[in-house]
Chain A
């Protein structure tokens, strides 16, 4: 079996008739997470920008023209994107669903988020990682994870 580049869409071998079936399999795999979307109540755009832009320090990116009527706010998050949509009538604090943000300086993040008055809920460490949970102002669960 020829080796292929893990994470690349195309096998690291010359493509000929015999290799084509393998290429098709490779091309049809899920490549990764393009974006994740969480929601906030309608009309909370200022608070979304304050929390995700100012407190978490994510960079806001433009929402395409065809999508502006949906009240979306988008942020770059490393190589992926975070999309914040608007949705009422949801009890966000009741779900265990969450996004985990990868950081390096856990001490700085504990200080920064505590100073914002957020409650830090410590989590059991896993294989080399230190981590804690917070909730955003709308009840979405957030994990901050970094080296021990």
Chain B
């Protein structure tokens, strides 16, 4: 019983993440996230604030909200999108005309940073070597 109680009061994981874009940037945000990144739009429930859209990223949701003001290019907060083919994404983002930054590497991963059209920091990350095998094992369990 005690074990059960501990389990039900734990955080299970991230349910969704939300970032913001300027209200006038919605069409451009759709081109970037839905067309370029290939993420799938999901319906936004009725009754919520207008503006923005929701997307499915793997098993999680990412919500795009609208908000005036702020300089997003200054922010270090970000989401890291996991991919299996970092070089494909590096070429695709560069060919679309967006800058590529190379953050320091760390064990078992390769990655790069870019900024969306509004300045939000976006990371692409790929697991390599035994790290990738372990992740695949978890994913198929």
Contacts and interface: CB of A to CB of B under 8 A. Distances in A.
A117 interface: no
A121 interface: no
B12 A104 contact: yes
Interface string A47-83: 0000000001110000011110010000001111010
Q: Which of B47, B80, B125 has the most CB of A within 10 A?
A: B80
A37 B14 CA distance: 12
A36 B123 CA distance: 9
Interface stretch (B24-32, B57-65, B94-102): B57-65
A102 B38 contact: no
Interface string A123-136: 01011000000000
A70 B70 CA distance: 24
A1 interface: no
A65 B62 CA distance: 30
A78 B13 contact: yes
Nearest to B82: A34
Interface residues of B, number: 52
A78 B107 CA distance: 21
Interface string B71-108: 00011111111111100110000000000000011110
B67 A80 contact: no
Interface residues of A, number: 55
A97 B65 contact: yes
Nearest to B124: A30
A27 to B, nearest CB: 5
B106 A96 contact: no
Main secondary structure of the interface of B (DSSP, over half): mixed
A103 B9 CA distance: 7
Contacts of A56: 11
Interface string A1-27: 000000111000000000000000001
B8 interface: yes
A79 B13 CA distance: 7
Given A7-B139, A9-B84, A27-B84, A98 B79 contact: no
Interface in B6-26: 8-20
B1 interface: no
B128 interface: no
A99 interface: yes
Nearest to B43: A127
15 contacts: A7-B58, A9-B84, A28-B89, A30-B58, A33-B17, A33-B60, A33-B79, A35-B80, A35-B125, A36-B79, A85-B76, A89-B74, A97-B20, A102-B14, A105-B8
